[in-house]
Amino acid sequence: MQGKRSKLIPAAFVLMLLTVALEILPAMAVEAPADDAQPAQAEPPRTMNGLALTPPMGWNSWNKFACNVDEKLIRRMADAMVSSGMQDAGYRYIVIDDCWHGERDRDGFIQADPKRFPSGMKALGDYIHAKGLKFGLYSDAGRKTCGGRPGSQGYEFQDALQYARWGVDYLKYDWCNTGTRNAQEAYTLMADALRASGRDIVFSLCEWGNQKPWLWGKTVGNLWRSTGDIYDKWQGRQKYMLGMLDIVDINESLWPYAGPGHWNDPDMLEVGNGGMTETEYRTHFSLWAIMAAPLIAGNDISRMDETTKRILLNREVIAVNQDALGTQGRRVAKNGDQEIWAKPLADGGRAVLLFNRGEQAAEIAVGWEQLGYPRHLSARLRDLWKQQDLAPQVGRYTTMVEPHAVVMLVVQP
């Protein structure tokens, strides 16, 4: 034994030296001279996919159609996104939420429901892309989706590959039926799978805020839901669903965590679905815009009245949401039901909301110091809903705000 070993060690040692030399020598040969040496590059953050540098804009099937999705509906929505002017206003993603799934095939690859999507997902993706739009799908980190369809747990890499083959550009990834899974681990696994698919896919985490995704989501995905599901009411709670204002009050405090490529997601828009007044929908849209929230319409965009269009297509409000600085606006003052919100803009201006939650009209005044400006400045003002320039003001601006309404301004010193 001893003799055998003493012969083996030198052989292994020589082999090791050879391996090391083979690795080192080529690297040494191309090494730059010391004075040109670059500092070692840190590993880029794992989700630096370069996507969603401004909050994603699009349409999603869930709020209006729930499980009633099929290829005819999705094509109609893609057509409407173009013909309504939404595409020109910046909306891009057509996202099919839950219930598009059929079974997995013999090899485990997920298929679309053949009755609802007889032409298949690749054809639907092609249709969407031919219009210059982008294609989004939904899955779930558990064994089943919330609607009981096959989830991605255990099939992450296969599903990501299949989505890439279909031309998917956006994945919303839900959290039903996940048992004791750790959210950060589960979402990281799917992030790795999406990256390995070789396709650029915006990753939308839908974990409802349970495991504080704002603390870790930035290195995993592009947006993360911060609350339970929205429902089409001004205020209130029903099981896991929250009214618009209840969502706002949770999402507001998370402003430090948002930025280009990584957004808090207070859920999709209800504008046009009928449960709020026109004023309330304008407030809803303004709050989503100033919070740098994803603007994902959730109504039937093929049958919009003029009021709904005027809200969803207000380009000046959208410009606040899409501002390149990517700061989430926040509440800077509150006096009972009267609030002032501000969002710094890339050009040094501020988007401002004068927001009256109350049941009576109220006067609201914003002082420049509340916006981080010296009092003595004269500032130009633009009312984004009236689409009018107002007279320049020094120090402050005061106006009446109707119940449940906002006055939305851009202030420029």
CB of 206 to ligand GLA, least distance (A): 5
Each residue 244-283 as x (binds ligand GLA by CB under 6 A) or -, in order, gives ----------------------------------------
Q: Do 319 and 347 meet the contact criterion of CB atoms below 8 Å apart?
A: no
Point out the residue whose Cβ comes nearest to ligand GLA: 146
Q: Which is nearer to ligand GLA, 70 or 174 (CB)?
A: 174
Q: What is each CA distance from 197 to 42, 149, 389, in whole angstroms?
A: 24, 22, 49
Tell me the two tokens of residue 277: 């007044």
**What SS3 class is residue 56?**
coil
- Name the segment binding ligand GLA (CB under 6 A); options: 6-14, 113-121, 139-147, 329-337: 139-147
Cα 19 to its chain centre, rounded Å, is: 47
Tell me the two tokens of residue 159: 């599903």
CB of 269 to ligand GLA, least distance (A): 12
List strand residue ranges (DSSP E) for 307-387, in order.
330-335, 338-344, 350-356, 362-367, 378-383
CB of 313 to ligand GLA, least distance (A): 24
- Name the segment binding ligand GLA (CB under 6 A); options: 28-36, 144-152, 216-224, 371-379: 144-152
Q: Which is nearer to ligand GLA, 159 or 229 (CB)?
A: 229
Under the criterion CB under 6 A, does residue 332 sit at the interface with ligand GLA?
Answer: no
| Upper half-sphere CA count for residue 412 (Cβ side, 13 Å) | 11
Name every residue whose Cβ is closer than 8 Å to that of residue 183 and which is 6 or more positions away in sequence. Answer: 141, 175, 207, 210, 211, 213
Q: Residue 229 catalytic? A: yes
Please name the helix (run of DSSP H) or strand (run of DSSP E) that holds residue 24, with its range, or none.
helix 2-30
Work out whether strand 101-104 and strand 110-112 pair parallel, antiparallel, or are unpaired.
antiparallel
Q: Which of 98, 174, 232, 246 is catalytic?
A: 174
Cα three-residue angle 381-385-387, rounded to 5 degrees: 60
The values of phi and psi at residue 87, to 5°, are -60, -45
Work out whether strand 229-230 and strand 241-242 pair parallel, antiparallel, or are unpaired.
parallel
CB of 77 to ligand GLA, least distance (A): 16
Cα 104 to its chain centre, rounded Å, is: 28
Q: Which of residues 149-208 bind ligand GLA (CB under 6 A)?
A: 174, 206
Each residue 344-373 as x (binds ligand GLA by CB under 6 A) or -, in order, gives ------------------------------
Each residue 97-136 as x (binds ligand GLA by CB under 6 A) or -, in order, gives xx--------------------------------------
Q: Which of residues 41-80 bind ligand GLA (CB under 6 A)?
A: 62
Q: Which of residues 199-218 bind ligand GLA (CB under 6 A)?
A: 206
Q: Residue 97 catalytic? A: no
What does the binding site for ligand GLA look like in residue numbers (CB under 6 A)? 62, 97-98, 138, 145-147, 174, 206, 229
Task: Supply the residues annotated as catalytic.
Answer: 174, 229
